[in-house]
Structure 1
Amino acid sequence: MKRMILSFFLFPILCSVPLAAEDNKPIIQVIPFVIEGLGQEEARFISTLIQSYVTDIGDVVQVYDAGMESPVQENETYSLSADKMPDFILSGSITVDQDTRILSLKIIKNETGETAYHTSIHRTTTDLTLKARSLVEAAFSTGFDGMFHEAVSQEILAESRILGTWRGDTGIAIVRLQRGGTGIAILSSGVQMNLVYKIEDNSLKVTQISPNTERFYHPMPFEVARILKSRAEPWQYVLFLYDNGTVLRGLKTFTGVRYEANRFVELIPGSVQEAEWTKTSR
């Protein structure tokens, strides 16, 4: 079985480390996760998500010296300067056992040596990804007497709670959800996209039903957008309700694309990214 040691700090967008932690934020050292049985892209995406959720809780510091090669090898020593000694050390693993995905988190409180463990089992990688935020928050909040903050919990979904206007995620100006399982999205390019939705297993599943147009992919080069128009799968969302019915948060699945300048390189079907919609007063 393929085994990877993934360092969170392989991802440039998340690499900035503050010179000093804020007064009320702990310093968290993140050891690269051991990931077995997942493809490299899946593993990288989940690792990036977990990294971003940890940075919401505390200030994350590097787990290896600048001179160390990345990714680091198992059982290596991670050294930090004296002014960046961590309050907590987070490590973990994601393994695939037949048809289940197992996430294991381990948190050590440096001052006392207390150790908290958190394990969860998921039927699919998508399920694990959708719940990653609440799992990380739960591991910290319940592991040490709620010293950070309470874990964010999903709320009961009903049509009456999701009707109305939402500020969309990247590329979407607004979303209007209507009675009877229909809706529209006004994209940043100004074009309208028709949607259908259903509530299932306390999640909101939203799917594009409008035929693709080049303007769905603004501001990509026209030649790239034209290829996506003919070959991209419909956008799909799986969202959960949070914050007293004011936030829908989850994942968007779409056909990604790689291009250089104006030249198309390849399509990336089944691409996944985080999505968050916020209720507006309109």
Structure 2
Amino acid sequence: MSPASTARAETALPTPVLRVDAEGIATLTLARPASRNSLSDATMAALSGHLAAIAGDSAVRAVVLCAEGPVFSAGHDLKEIQAHRGDADRGQAYYADVLGRCAALMTAIVRLPQPVIAAVEGLATAAGCQLVASCDLAVAGQAARFCTPGVNIGLFCHTPMVALTRAVSSKHAMEMLLLGDWVEADDAFRMGLVNRVVPEGEAIAAALTLARRIAARSQVPVKLGKAAFYRQAEMTLDDAYAFASDVMTTNMLARDADEGISAVLSKRHPVWEDR
């Protein structure tokens, strides 16, 4: 099938990402289980579009990312990748473009004001594993497994490496990247790739429980804190403390900080206004 035919077929399919909002939580569901929820051009575009809309939606206080079927995400769509081998440049322009769009998607998750929680059931491989690693929190069902298998097909998972090395220790990341072996849910928890392991089939419910707890907080410290967390992580120790002190000073001047401290001192529940 030609690239143009592939694009037409992809467009004709049902929407690849579903969004449902409830209780201040936006649940985004990868909805193409027949294609193993691969990060196809259409799926990445849809997911990026939802994230852009959520970023400016003050009614959304947390996001849960999940998937239909037995595979959370198999990573890039290899059929789309191979379809461009016949291009005049052997696919170079397309590969650079698709990897750039994937990087922008992962970065959008990190930079989204609201926390994003991955709820993983089944398999998360290559860029699918990268997607999990890019989320702020992750809950895995007991049967979930994770893998960066590029070396098994002649590719090092260079771009998944970026998110993976920011989520787990360097030794664990290199083991996954160099061996391409499956990592079971309990080992993913031990490595720090996921926060919780729950019985199979309960990952979405557990992620929603975390999301509700986050949604119940004032959004001032949540949004300031998420942004600051990622910025300070790339700084020297002295710069990180200086930056964190500035952000915390800003936070202390917020109305909700005054309300929260006053509530503690007067032994009552705070009333948040998100300002």
Relative CO higher for 1 or 2, CA cutoff 8 Å, sep ≥ 6?
Answer: 2
Normalising by structure 2, we get a TM-score of 0.24
> Structure 1 length normalisation: TM-score?
0.24
- Name the one with the larger strand percent: 1
